[in-house]
Amino acid sequence: MAASNKPSKWSPAPPVELASSNSSLELLSQGAEARVWLLELNESIATTTADGVVGRKRTVNVGSSITVPQLTSFAQQPSPLLVGNGESRTVICKERFPKKYRHPQLDVSLTKSRTKGEARSLIRCQRAGVPCPNVLAIAQWPTESGEQRAGTSYCLFMEKVDGCTVRQYLEQKSDEPAIKSAATEPALKRSKCNDDISHQPQERVTTAIDVDTLRVANTIGKILARMHAAGIVHGDLTTSNIMIRNPPAKSDDSWKPQLVLIDFGLASSISQTNSAGKTKSHHKQQHNAEEKAVDLYVLERAFLSTHPDSDKLVDEVWRGYCEYEDEAMPGGEYSQIANAVMKRLDQVRMRGRKRECFG
């Protein structure tokens, strides 16, 4: 196993099955709730099954009549992680590791339900045509047995998305000299804060606003509208959780960005059907405008706090959101619901400003 960025001493070791696999294992990121591993698998890992017996395909029900392949071992056959052509494959493993501060039974219940919920949201998005990573399998593995209060890790295996995040793309565009400008604040005023500060004007980086970035923003709006129309609220929309599969090497008027939404760990579902299984009326769907508006507000705050002077990009996101047409809806238009969400977004902004002012 070739591992880098070793886990923190405060978190448990990787599951025994994950650590002892013959695949290359690399830790990409680690948070309080989960960590993300990069695995490079080879066809040979599935050839060690005893007597070469091919077992039956196991699945896990994640809710809403959705099933996901269950991975019990890297040696199981057929393997849901391999494509069967003998070539190596790189996948992402999102591991929700056990928390020692929680009761063991509560910890297992929470990690299990959250892993299933993320898989369910991803699959529902894919069925609705929302670009997101493919769900490959779910695994439930114990941590090392010698560890005190060893628990259970739940792993969600997904397709690895190549490319870069929207945040990386915008920051790279912002590094170009053409969009750097001198600060307009007088040197005398700055010197009152710090006598040692230089009187020379400092360069200030602003977010690039051009045809390419506006095209990316408009595409983001359309994807979010498609996701909301499918009854999914992301819960953690930032420019770091939206990837571009085909970032251009240089400006191209014919470029069409291929965006992918990732990290559905906080996603939730909104029921879009009634008891008869029919689509709800527009009036009833407008009752979900609050959750959708909060989702958009999180993205707006992420844009404005991470990318300076990106107001025009945010406006273009809203423009794409309102222009989206849903073929599954009567008349094929999402505009009526989008207008309700935009009105509720204004109310959410006011609540956010009050919280900033009064704490």
* H, E, C per residue of 290-347: HHHHHHHHHHHHHHHHHCCCCHHHHHHHHHHHHHCCCCCCHHHCCHHHHHHHHHHHHH
Residue-level pLDDT at 189: 40
DSSP 3-state of 34 = coil
**Preceding amide of 80 cis, omega within 30:** no
Helix pair 211-229, 311-323: axis angle to 10 deg: 40
Phi, psi of 190 (to 5 degrees): -70, -30
Do residues 133 and 118 make contact, with C-beta atoms less than 8 angstroms apart? no
State which amino acid sits at residue 247: P
Helical (H) or strand (E) element with 190:
helix 187-193
Which one-letter DSSP state was computed for residue 213? Answer: H
* Beta partners for residue 243, in sequence order: 165, 260
**Residue 224 class from Cβ within 10 Å (0-12 exposed, 13-18 middle, 19+ buried)?**
buried
Task: Give the start-end residues of each E strand in the chain.
Answer: 24-30, 35-41, 59-63, 66-69, 89-96, 135-142, 152-159, 164-165, 180-182, 203-205, 232-233, 242-244, 259-261, 268-269
For 23, other C-beta atoms within 10 Å of its C-beta total 23
Residue-level pLDDT at 184: 37
Closest CA to 35 of 23, 43, 27: 27
Do residues 292 and 227 make contact, with C-beta atoms less than 8 angstroms apart? no
Residues involved in catalysis: 236
Q: How far apart are CA 99 and CA 10, in angstroms?
A: 10
Which one-letter DSSP state was computed for residue 150? Answer: -
In the chain, the domains with their CATH numbers are 16-160 (3.30.200.20), 206-358 (1.10.510.10)
Tokens at residue 286, please?
Answer: 């407008």
DSSP 3-state of 211 = helix
Does the CA dihedral 191-195-198-204 come out positive or negative?
negative
> CB-based contacts of 97: which residues, under 8 Å, 6+ apart?
11, 12, 34, 35, 143, 151, 153
Residue-level pLDDT at 151: 80
Residue-level pLDDT at 14: 83
Q: Within the chain, which residues score under 70 in pLDDT?
A: 1-11, 22, 43-55, 84-87, 144-150, 176-204, 271-287, 327-328, 330-331, 353-359
Q: What is the pLDDT of residues 247-278, one digit of tens each?
A: 988 877 889 999 999 999 999 988 654 444 45
Closest CA to 213 of 182, 180, 172, 241: 172
Which one-letter DSSP state was computed for residue 276? Answer: T
Tokens at residue 229, please?
Answer: 């129309």
Question: Which residue shows structure tokens 């309080």?
Answer: 32
Do residues 181 and 204 make contact, with C-beta atoms less than 8 angstroms apart? yes
